[in-house]
Each structure stands twice: as structure tokens, then as C-alpha cells.
Structure 1
Amino acid sequence: MTSLIFFSFILLFGTITSYEDIRWGRIRNKYILSAFLFTALINSLMFLGVIEDHNLDEGYYLALLINVIIASLVGFALWTLNLWTPGDAKLFSAYAALVPLTTYRQGYTQYFPSFTLLSNTFVPLFFLILLTLPFSMSKNKDRKIKNLFDPRRLIERIIFLFGFLWFFNAIFSFLGMQLTFLMYLLLFITIPYIFRRIKFISLTHASIILSILRLIFDSDTVFTVEFLKFFIFLVFIFIIVMFLIGLSNFLPTTTAINIEDLKPGMILAEKIKSDDKIISSTTGGITADEIGLINKLYAENKLKSNLIQIQQTLPFAPFLFLGVLLTYLCQGDLVVFLESLFKS
């Protein structure tokens, strides 16, 4: 019964937030707040016994709280890395609170079962990028892609994979968590972004240090034929994925619009300088005051053109909503569900 209550609310919540993200490019805080209040209300009634659910054990509410906290931290981290907007981060946290933990039957991740929501969101998104890539590449033939095949970068990635793979395995084994392939992929994509913000050590140096430590402390595993086969396969898959991500950078990401058509929340693809301020791109988009300043600069003939370059952002709320629906449909992780179908 409780699963049906949450699912009904999710259908309404997901439809509204997806529509607003597509139509207006934003997700209003009142909807996020309503999701958390609804979750708190229903779980309180369940805890008090007003609503009965015999499938829950004593540790359910603590596990749910830990899951939501980790989801919020992950959402914040992805926002600081400019991988999505603050609204998307809050929406992910809301879904982490709304989806009952009993839904994650396929590929349950201890402490952070809502990672399945990320997995089921990014897998369809990844295939959408692959489908649209050939059409976008045809419009960008003049762009060079030789950096994608740079031998030096390839060697750096192999060292990075070798060192950090061992590091992640050691950390998550200590925490009693099992890493899925998508979790590896997300970590290997996120770590380079983090190191770009760290000044005291580079990613290459950290990878070399971890690789040397692995050769010293994990030699029994490294110097085996089984590990060599596994690592060659992993490198092959990792290179393909990195190549596809690299190609996705050639997707058209900006468009020129008239200054009169600027709206709050739009993200600038260029810096606009005034006498005492620089208006630049942020994940939150430009404000009404900044639009007023841009119009003033144009009226004073301080801008070269009446056209402003704006980033074309992909509405992410519909993909998160799709990820939640796939989670319900597959009773957990989509990839694990498909694997079980092929094995049966």
C-alpha cells in the first residue's frame, strides 16, 4: 500500500517538474519542498503504525536517512563539478527520499541504494547522446579530434585506471559496499574534475603514486594472467566510453539569441564586461538585474552586437523522472535486470 502511495505522488511530482523544466528551464523549490514534506509525513505515519507496512524492518528509517544524506552530498558534488544545475541536484535528493528502499531489489547498493536512480537516468541519456552524435558531428566537420587519440593521454588514463581501481576497491571493500560498473564509470569521470580544482598534486602524479603502491602491496593479484585479462578488457571498455564522451563535446552547445529575448535562468556562453562587473556563466543562470545591465550596455553602444551566445541546456528533470520509472519497472537497476533476463 505504501509503495502505491509513493508511486502515485511520484507520477504527479515527476510530471509537473518535467513539464516545468522543459517549458521554463527551472524546477521551483516549492515542489522540492512538497516532496520532502510528503515523504516525512508518510514515513511518520508508517513509523507510528497509522499506516502499516509489514515489509519494513527496524533499520529501515535509518537506512533511508543515510541514503538521502548521501544522495544530497552526491547531488551537491555533481553541481560543484558543473555536471548539472542546483535544481537537478535538489530534484535527485527529492527522488531519493520519495522512492521506497524496498523498490531496489535488483542491484541494491548498501548505504546508497539511490545510486540506481543515477544509473537508470544516465544509461538512457548516454544512448540518446550516441543516437544524436552522428547528426551533430556532421555539422562540426571542421573540428579536430586528434586529441582523442593522443598516446600520452592514453598512457595517463591507463595508469590512472590501474592505480585508482585498486584504491576504490580497497575503500569500498572496507565499507562493505560492492561497486557496479556504472559506479566505477561515475567515479572515473568525476575524479579528474576534482583534481582540476586541487592545486597541490596533479591527477597524473596521484595515479603514479597509487600505481606504485599497488605494485608493492597488491603484487599477488597484479602479476596473474586472470588480472591481466580483466584489466585489458577494462581498459578497452574505459577507452571506448572516454572516446564517446570526448566525441560528445562536439555536440552543438550554444545558440545566438536577441538581447530582447533574454530570460532569467539562461546560461551565458560568453563573458560580458561592464565598467565594474563581469557577467559570466553560472549554473544558476543570469538574473533579472544582469539582464537589465546587458540591455543598458547595449543601449549605450558598449556591445558589438544585439546577439548574445547562450548555452543550450538539456532539460534533465524528464530523464530523472524516466530513471525513477525504470527503477520501478525493473525493481532496481536496469543493467542488472537486463543481465538477469539474458541469464534466465
Structure 2
Amino acid sequence: MTFNIFDILFLPAVFFIGLITSYEDVKYGKVRNKWIKLALFWGLAVIIFFYLWYLIAAPVSRFFYFQVLGHPADSSPAIFTVLPIYLSKIVLNAAVSLVVAFLMWRAGAWAAGDAKLFFVYALLLPLKYYWKSYLPIFPSFVLLINIFIPVFAYLLLRSVFYNAKYFYQTLKQKKIKTLRQGDKGAKEQKENEGRWKKIREKLVMVIAFVGIFLALKLFQEPIKNQTSIDIASFQAFIFAAIIVFSGSLGKVFKKTIAFWLVSGILISVLSYGFATSPIATWQTFYQSVLMMALFMVIYGIFRKMIDFHTLKTATEEIESKDLKAKMNLDENIISEIKNDEKFFNENIGSIYPEGLDERQAEAVRKWLLDKKKTKIKIYQPFPFVLWMFIGVIITMILKSSLFHLFIKVGTGD
């Protein structure tokens, strides 16, 4: 592997930031802003330098070549620069990464420190490490995939072992019947309340992505002929987006307007397809529905297993009076607080992944005291920063996304 100037200037910073933030996140549970600022300053300084150097490289190089080194006037000096188009791609990728990171923070997918760190990695990691799965405008989507897939796989693996152990012990103790009877009433009531909303949400998601797959198939050849871009490769990114942005997508698809909008888009795509190539459109439609339904079922099972594992192993019980800022409340207590709409709107508003702030923690403590709740459950912090650094290393090794690797292995390419 050959190293270029950006490897030399950026990779030491990537590893330094990755190691120091991973250590502090595991040990102290936070990412300090000074490391983010340091990395951001270094990245921007390098990019600005090369922008300026491009403007003055020719006269400076000629002066050094002829006046300092004394080469003949008829010789040609070597001028080394970085094209502005490449620098612009770095800046554009970093800008899009910042927007995506902000949206994921607002959606509750990760903490503010994680979002800022992803932006820094996107700025510092040279673009050549995405080339096998290069996505124009947002190459760092590959990095996003390589961060979340290992986390998902790790949690899934742990949940499989935990679920197997849990149900084995339950069977051994002959308590399954009792557990089911004890939970049945509350569980059925909760399921009945949100049954239609959940069905509609999943249906809208299936319709939306079936429409996307159909559009990719129908317009693949025209786009390829006009631009030489094969959009079929975007299917892997779509599945990755479902996993990475599942929480945010779920909130969007709950809205009634989303149902009618995606239905209209699907009908339009189907109308075009049946008018131009009915047999191919029907085959693609059938395969897309089958594929999405199977994917949603498998993904849903995996999510349930992971959620059950998290509920049983990643929570701890504390005294209500000991609740502090930066702590993350259990979902059940959050639901209870949200039911008190006046209190929630006036004192809480939004809860982000980094936990409660000082004002929110104080308000919740008083609320718990009023409700005579002496103990509550909180989530234990998850060292996500370490997994982000692992995702960076995976990206550097593969120069591609894990999704593309799985596809290549599955197809034997």
C-alpha cells in the first residue's frame, strides 16, 4: 500500500484521536471537546494550507528550482499540488457528515460527542479508503455502515447467548408458564393499543423501500447509459440505511401523510413499469416485496432479541434521590413521565442520548418524589466511541463497506 501526503498528515491524527477518545469513553464515559477541537483545527489547517498552496505553488516552485537550486532556465521544474476538486470533495463529504451526524443526534441515535467525533473522522480519513464502495457526495456513509454493523453484530451475538441461557434456565426451573401468565395481561393491553400504528409503520416502510428498489431497477439502464453510473450498487446502502436510521425512519413513517405519499410514489413507479416492461416490473415487484418482508421479519426478530438482552443486562437500579445529570432513564420510566404531558413539556422537552442535563435531572427527582417512586432503573453507558474507532480501522482495511463484503462473499465474486 502506497502512502500519500494525506496519509502522512491525517492518519497519525486519526489514530491519536481514536485512541485517546476510546480510552476516555471507556474509563470516564465521555468525549472531551478539546480533542474534537484539536482534530478539527488540524484538519481544517491542512485543507486551507493546500488550497493556498495551489495558488502559489507554481511561482514558489520556479523560484526555488531556478534561483535557489540554480537549474538551467530551459529546464522544467516539478510542481507538486493537490487539486482543488479533491479538497472540495473532502470538504463536501465532511459537511454532509456533519449534517447527518446532527440529524442522528436529534433523532436520538447517538450522543452529541459521538456525532462530533464522526464528523472529525469523516474530515480526517482520506477519501481513498472508501474507493471500493465510493458514494458520491457522502463517501463517509461507508464509515457509518462500518461503525454500526459491528455494534449490531456484537449486540446480536451477546443477545443470542443471553437469550439461550435465559430460556434454558427458565425451562429448567419450570417457570415459563408462570412468566407468561404474569405478563400476559399487560403485554396484550400494550400490543392492542399500538397494533394499528405498528402495522401501518411497517407497511409504509415496506412500500417505501419496494418503491425505491423498483425505481432502481427500472431506471438502472437509462442512468447507466447516460452517466456510466450503475445504481444497482445502491441497494446495499439502502439496507444499511434501514438499520442505521431505523429509529428516525420509524418516526417519519408513523405519520399519515407518509403513508399516502409513499403509496402515491409506488403507484407512479408501478404505472411507469407496467407501461414500459410489464413482465420485468411484476417480477421485480414480487421479488422486492418478498425480499423486504423477509428482511423486516428477520430484522424485527433480531431487534427484539437485542432489546430483551439490553433490558436484562444493561440496566441498573438506583435510588431516585441519586439520579444525576448524564444518566439515561429506563424506557418504562420515560413513558410514565411522557404520560404526564404538562410536566414533560414544561420540564423535559427532549431527552438526548448523552442523558439528562442538570435541570432535567432535578425536575425528574422532584417528580419521582411526588409519585413516591423510591427506586428507578437507568441504562448503563455503552462505550460507543470505541466501536467508532473500530469502524474506522475496518474501513481502512477493507476500503469498502461490510455490506459490500458480505455481498461479494455471498455471490462468490
**Same fold? TM cut 0.5:** yes
The residue that corresponds to 2:73 in the other structure is none
The residue that corresponds to 1:248 in the other structure is 306
Query: Does 1:239 find its partner at 2:293?
Result: no
Question: How far 1:255 moved relative to its partner?
Answer: 2.5
Are 2:31 and 2:113, in contact at CA under 8 Å, matched by a contact in 1?
yes
Partner SS for 2:376: strand
- Equivalent residue for 1:227, pick from 259, 264, 284: 284
Map 1:141-220 → 2, pairs under 5 A: 157-166=205-214, 178=231, 179-188=233-242, 190=245, 193-194=248-249, 196=251, 201-219=256-274, 220=276
Query: Does 1:282 find its partner at 2:330?
Result: no
For 1:255 and 1:221, locate their aligned partners in 2 and report how far apart those are by CA, in whole Å.
58
Question: How far 1:26 moved relative to its partner?
Answer: 2.0
Identity %: 23
Provide, for residues 199-221 of structure 1, a one-character-per-residue CA deviation record: whole Å limited to 9, x for no partner. 87343333322221122122235
Provide, for residues 131-157 of structure 1, a one-character-per-residue CA deviation record: whole Å limited to 9, x for no partner. 01224436587578997x999567655
Partner SS for 2:133: coil
Question: How far 1:101 moved relative to its partner?
Answer: 1.0
The range that moved more, 76-85 or 190-199, is 190-199
Are 1:125 and 1:319, in contact at CA under 8 Å, matched by a contact in 2?
yes
Q: Structure 1: any 5+ residue segments left out of the alignment?
A: none
Map 1:260-339 → 2, pairs under 5 A: 261-269=322-330, 270-271=333-334, 278-279=347-348, 282-283=351-352, 284-292=354-362, 302=370, 304-337=372-405
Q: Which amino acid aligns with 2:209?
A: L
Are 1:136 and 1:252, in contact at CA under 8 Å, matched by a contact in 2?
no
Query: Does 1:126 find its partner at 2:183?
Result: no
In 2 relative to 1, CA 122–295 (structure 1 residues): closer, same or farther, beyond 3 Å? closer
Q: Which has the larger radius of gyration?
A: 2
Q: Structure 2: any 5+ residue segments left out of the alignment?
A: 58-77, 168-178
Question: How far 1:230 moved relative to its partner?
Answer: 4.2
For 1:114 and 1:169, locate their aligned partners in 2 and report how far apart those are by CA, in whole Å.
25
Q: Which amino acid aligns with 2:50?
A: M
Q: Which amino acid aligns with 1:236?
A: L
Q: Which amino acid aligns with 1:110?
A: P
Provide, for residues 226-273 of structure 1, a one-character-per-residue CA deviation record: whole Å limited to 9, x for no partner. 525742345433432243234333233432123465443112232568
The residue that corresponds to 1:23 in the other structure is 27
The range that moved more, 327-336 or 255-264, is 255-264
For 1:338 and 1:54, locate their aligned partners in 2 and report how far apart those are by CA, in whole Å.
39
Question: How far 1:186 moved relative to its partner?
Answer: 4.1
In 2 relative to 1, CA 53–177 (structure 1 residues): closer, same or farther, beyond 3 Å? farther
Question: How far 1:103 moved relative to its partner?
Answer: 2.1
Please identify which structure carries the higher helix content: 2
The residue that corresponds to 1:70 in the other structure is 96
Q: Which amino acid aligns with 1:67?
A: N
Map 1:29-108 → 2, pairs under 5 A: 29-47=33-51, 48=53, 56-108=82-134
Question: How far 1:2 moved relative to its partner?
Answer: 2.8
Provide, for residues 303-335 of structure 1, a one-character-per-residue CA deviation record: whole Å limited to 9, x for no partner. 624423213342211111111111111123234
Partner SS for 2:93: helix
